[in-house]
Structure 1
């Protein structure tokens, strides 16, 4: 295969890490170790077990192109089925021997003299690798606000991504803090059994109906016997995102043409809320797409229940038995569920990554996370990220982006195996890429739509989203150009 048997460490066993390991194995690499601090594969689909957890991208697109699943039970798969799919891929492609589960990588430091990464595990073990890939994702570290009095609360309190299944919600007085993608999925599931459920709304969202449906058995049979049917379904979904929805996000002209239809679609769904005053409070004042457009056919209906209430006033304090808001109201609750999302800019946290000159990655990113094509950072040789800065998609499937990154990183691995000792992306290449990316993002709805979202960091720099089409990213990553890197033989 090459001049040396490259040793590769992949940190994270979610869609990114599993997909990359499969690509590396298919390219002939054998010395691959996949680390994960949890006791199983799956990433966010292992962690997010809250009631109603499901994908908001259609199943046929939210899966690897090389491993179609003909028998998805429904158009938008739920968490257990997606997790089973990832476990199936792990077994099918022989990744189990490569897994190091229950093993957290706390530190990684590049040894310039040897051209290798020295990594340390949580239990103090030290290991060395030629290539290090952080496949930690953007949505792996739950964000929980620090509010006065949190330590005094006597009831149950947990984040939606760390759901406490041992806590019975029947007859509970529940506070749900946040009303984003997770909340609109689990609120309809837990509201019927609660004595009361109060949603502390942080910011309103555009919500459309979810065109979900159960796939009948004959469709499973058809997919198996005539695989092109499933391929065409995948292509159709891809083109819908790429040609219809994506222009409304990234193109000023597309926003002009498509914003009004999206508003009408979401306002039609909002008519399910019977109280006109509540409907007004649930109507966003920013452009559709500035924040992620959510999908649900149950959330608005749930708000009509007599035991469900929506509070707009900000929380000022957590008390022993409730939540106090800025309007002076004290809401008695015995359970607090944080639906407050993730620390989306912590691309490698809590792992510390240190380059050959002693610079720590987060210090290099003090003015905002930047990576060439979302994968390579200057000053950190033989190191790549998956689902890194500016590779999230506002419309489409992240799996398509991950497969593009896999193909690119496999090319890098081949270079390292065939005689290159180190490869470090040139600073001028990264600077030009980042400047062009931020320039394109400056006219996108995420930057100009009149809202604050998790796409923007504290300085309102968009560190998360790709500013164009998925096909554009595929084209940019199809061929690794060695001239973009400082190469040492």
Structure 2
């Protein structure tokens, strides 16, 4: 068995297999360390916006989180500790470029030219691995340092410099308050004002840490389910979230003109809701300007907007998120009869329960299409998928036959997802949640409790048997 990726998803699969007694697996990681997005995103202020007690494996609670919301270094350290149990099964520097189903087995090709084979292939590359940069005219003209928040240039000194930040999403909400005191002048380009809620963060003392990680985990999960319910339930419920965000904005921003510029125009929840206590403080600082005009081009010395104004800068930082909706895997996956997964999806990724695709036997996606969340910990979804993969591996071990999801089951699930998401909160505005055709291909329409129920056991009736090893 081969698992591609050593982030939360890939390590979760590996640890779950080991706990179930399966030892014949290999994890292929193209980098030189585990961690996935928590290894790659090292920008100032990088942290999780899910409470620490729920942002860990249920089978490996962490009693040493120093804060209610864990910072990137602490999360990476947690992943490294958990990886020790399977480190001898991880191959670092193993860049998977292609995988094809041939003769009842998966043929996996590395960039080095090496070829491996496996009965089961798991893609755990996640949804947040490819940074998105806007296709602006003149991208190559700017003469200063240019980088994306997910590829932070720690060698670039921002002290006293004119810094331009494009984007006001989740990453920007964390790094902008950190770099604002350093910059001589900070210009933040906002396309759409986000809904921002207070972040109830605080240091964790030793007694509280144990309580948070053990007794309160279920309580934190229930709060996340409640937030998901508010966002999904309807206009009135979403209005509650919007009202809290509006009160936060009003309290933090006294200037009415500036407050109007920062007021969200989209329904609460259709874009990712942000959590921050110092976002508005940074945007209203004397050295910060928020620009809402559309950027038309990049110049040698800054950015030009639709009003003709050129905003000069010494450093340009993209806080523009990731290429998610297209779900472009970093490897080419070919199933039965030479069918390319990218062609099968044709710009609209879909998978049964977010994990399996007809025509691709023994292939599983972790954190695949329609398994992202808007109001709870995605690790709950990932653990459910890990258990599901283990069930499939157990079936193969006991019967000698593999599994392939039936087209009818996959089509029924896809139709259900499209119907439930068509008029839901995420259909209300353009965002990274949506594919090119307007469909929602990233998010799960319900709570995590529903997903846990639906993945609790392997439904053999949804699958057809394939040849074993």
Q: Same fold (TM over 0.5)?
A: yes
State whether structure 2 residue 118 is matched by structure 1 residue 138: no
How many Å separate the matches in 2 of 1:137 and 1:251? 27
Within-5 A mapping of 1:414-425:
414-425=394-405
Partner Cα separation in structure 2 for residue 351 and residue 345 of structure 1:
17
> Structure 1 residue 346: deviation in Å?
4.6
Q: Which residue in 2 is equivalent to 1:37? A: 30
CA RMSD of aligned residues (A): 1.3
The corresponding residue for 1:124 is: 113
In 1: Cα distance, 2:347 partner to 2:40 partner: 30
Q: Distance between the aligned counterparts of 2:396 and 2:228, measured in 1?
A: 36
Task: Give the gaps of 5 or more residues in structure 2.
Answer: none
The structural deviation recorded for 1:259 is 2.4
- Whether contact under 8 Å (1:389, 1:464) holds in the other structure is yes
**Structure 1 residues 305 and 367, CA, compared in 2 at 3 Å: closer, same or farther?**
closer
Contact 1:250 1:443 in 2 (8 A): no
Find the counterpart in structure 2 of residue 238 from structure 1: 221
Q: CA deviation at 1:333?
A: 0.5
Question: TM-score, length-normalised on structure 1?
Answer: 0.93
- Which segments of structure 1 move beyond 4 Å, counting only runs of 4 or more? none
1:408 aligns with 2:394: no
Describe how 1:153-192 pairs up with structure 2 within 5 A: 153-192=142-181
Q: CA deviation at 1:215?
A: 0.9
Match of 1:474 in 2: 452
SS at match of 1:151: coil
Q: Structure 1: how far apart are the matches of 2:418 and 2:326?
A: 19
Q: Hey, what does 2:200 align to over in structure 1? A: 211
Equivalents in 1 of 2:363, 2:353: separation in Å?
13
- Aligned equivalents of 1:217, 1:419: Cα separation in 2: 48
User: Can you list the C-alpha shifts for 1:159-188, whole angstroms capped at 9, x where unaligned?
Assistant: 000000011111111110101000010001
Matches within 5 A, 1:82-121: 82-91=75-84, 94-111=85-102, 113=103, 115-121=104-110
Q: Which residue pairs with 2:285 in the alignment?
A: 305
Q: Secondary structure at the match of 2:178?
A: helix
Which of 256, 261, 280 is the matching residue for 2:240?
Answer: 261
1:270 is the counterpart of 2:249: yes
How many residues are aligned here?
Answer: 466
Give 1:4's aligned residue: none
Question: Which stretches in structure 1 are left out of the alignment for 5+ residues?
Answer: 1-7
CA shift digits 1:407-456 (9 cap, x unpaired): 10101111122234432111010000110111111232112xx3111111
Deviations 1:13-45, CA, capped at 9 Å, x for gaps: 100000110001111211211111111000110
Mean Cα displacement is larger for which, 450-459 or 424-433?
A: 450-459
C-alpha spacing 1:216/1:422, structure 2 compared with 1 (3 Å): closer
Q: Secondary structure at the match of 1:34?
A: strand
